[in-house]
Amino acid sequence: MAYNKGSIFVNRIELEGVHGLLESEKVSSQPFRIDVELSGDLNRAGQSDALTDTLDYEIVVNKVREVILGEPHNLLEALAYRIAKSINEVLSDSKLPIYSTKVKVEKVKPPVANVGSVSAVQELGVPRLTYIGLGSNLGIREQFIKGAIERLPGFKRLSPIYESEPLGGPKGQEKYLNAVAEIDFDGSPEEMLRSCQAIENWANRVREERNGPRTLDLDILLFGKLEVNTDFLVIPHPRLWERNFVLAPLADLRPDLVTEQKSIMARGTVSKLDNMIL
């Protein structure tokens, strides 16, 4: 699919609330104006013209309403942050390729002499539970796996380490160490790919032949519930369900995702290294 970077604006949501540092602001309500910008890839929505391919404005407005009509806050910064967070909770669990939420909260009639209005803006990336496959069969393999997890942004946990027979590639390769990392990543899939490639470069990865021996290979297996299909990125990873060196560690972290039916298709000999501590 073609390159696309788009935004949806939901502007001038006008509501009254009891927010501010002054006692008077906590007692009598005053007007607030809220603007929301959602940024990401709007290609699919552009082509399909279907509401299911984008975020319904009504959801945005409801989240804004909950925060502005809810508990009193002292700061506009806190209001903008709460609103962005609660919109992101919906997006994190959705298939929509929206990667950041920007919220501006404006106090339309601030109780400060000579000031027309005050506002605060917060922009938060949408966090998505992401699974990265790690593989190494060249050099000090465990050092490369350890270095990778120290560098992966938003790293949460690592599966047990497996040793596996090489699948594909030239004959006579060493065995692999494989594992899967769970991370909470709050950028776009392209940014995730760039982070993975930067870490592979740190490991002095040399690309000589496809499936050839490598110090470190990082594959994006799953990126929340997103589906990506461009010339340089396919998510879920197209060979995810075919290989035991990915499925076994993924099943350790997320047994709910790796059903028996899925693992029947998988190939390759793997053994769990219970005693390996990085």
How far apart, in whole angstroms, are the C-alpha atoms of residue 174 and residue 137? 6
What single string gives the DSSP state of each residue in 111-172? SSTT---EEEEEEEE--EEEEEEEEE-SSSHHHHHHHHHHHSTTEEEEPPPEEE---SSSTT
Contact status: 200 vs Mg ion (CB under 5 A): no
Candidate residues 100, 178, 188, 195; the one interacting with ligand A4P per rule CB under 6 A: 178
Residue 214 is among the residues annotated as catalytic for this protein: yes
- Look-up of token digits 């501010």: 20
Q: x/- contact string, 181-200, with ligand A4P (CB under 6 A)?
A: ------------x-------
The residue annotated as part of the active site, out of 205, 239, 252, 254, is 205
Q: x/- contact string, 43-82, with ligand A4P (CB under 6 A)?
A: ----------------------------------------
| 8 A C-beta contact, residue 89 and residue 224 | no
Residue 210 is among the residues annotated as catalytic for this protein: no
- Look-up of token digits 């027979």: 165
Contacts of 249 (CB under 8 A, 6+ apart): 133, 159, 160, 161, 162, 178, 179, 180
Give the interface segment with Mg ion, choosing from 10-18, 27-35, 72-80, 217-225 (CB under 5 A): 217-225
Q: x/- contact string, 228-247, with ligand A4P (CB under 6 A)?
A: ----xxxx-x-x-----x--
Quick one: 34 or 258, whose CB is closer to ligand A4P? Answer: 258
The tally of CA atoms less than 13 A away on the side-chain side of residue 26 is 8
Element (H, E) at 195: helix 189-202
Candidate residues 113, 210, 274, 275; the one interacting with ligand A4P per rule CB under 6 A: 210
Task: Specify the 3-state DSSP secondary structure of 58.
Answer: helix
Helix (H) and strand (E) counts in the chain: 8, 12
Contact status: 217 vs Mg ion (CB under 5 A): yes
DSSP state of 25: H
**232 contact choice in Mg ion, ligand A4P, none (CB below 5 to 8 Å, kind-dependent):** ligand A4P
To the nearest whole angstrom, how small is the minimum distance from the Cβ of residue 207 to ligand A4P? 5
Residue 217 is among the residues annotated as catalytic for this protein: yes
For ligand A4P, the binding residues (CB under 6 A) are 135, 164-169, 176, 178, 193, 207, 210-211, 217, 219-220, 232-235, 237, 239, 245, 268
Contacts with Mg ion, residue ranges (CB under 5 A):
217, 219
Which positions are annotated as active-site residues?
205, 214, 217, 219
